[in-house]
Amino acid sequence: MKPFSILLIKVLGLYLALQNLLSVAPILFNADARDMWQNELFPMLLAMILLPIVAGILLWFFAGALANRIHGESEPGVVVKEDELVRAGLFLIGVYLLVQHAGVLMGTYTASGSLAYGSLLVFALGLAMVLGSGFFAWLYRWARDSGIRR
């Protein structure tokens, strides 16, 4: 399960970095790009674009350490358990939500000084997914097994 998690974490990091890099590429080649670097949109652009790119790079390089954190240090063979797949998936979804909405929160706060409450809620849910992946796996097991026992 650990090699699968490492692969998924690296794919998530690559996706985060490239998605944001490709989303800003048309703006950089625009004729008015020089004005963008000089006005108040610059801090928002930095927060919303650079934060996910840096997070994607960090996910790529620390995929093994994150997989050890999720699954433990040693695993004798590749045994895919349903619960561990749920934990790994929820962890990755949580990391994705954290990175994306941290950029939105920082960009909105630096540009206008106010909070984006929708992004704050999604950020909190992403944090719960990252930190509570064991709880969600237990909840999944409970929901899966509750129909069997009568």
76-126 tens-digit pLDDT: 666 667 777 778 788 888 888 888 888 888 888 888 888 888 888 888 988
Average the pLDDT over 41-50 and give the result.
74
Indicate the range of 59-68, 80-89, 131-140 predicted with least confidence: 80-89
**Whole-prediction pTM:** 0.53
What confidence score (pLDDT) does residue 150 get?
47
Domain count, the chain: 1
> Does 150 map to a domain?
no
> Does 46 map to a domain?
yes
> Does 39 map to a domain?
yes
Structure tokens at 75: 């695993």
Residue range of the domain that includes 95: 2-71+79-145
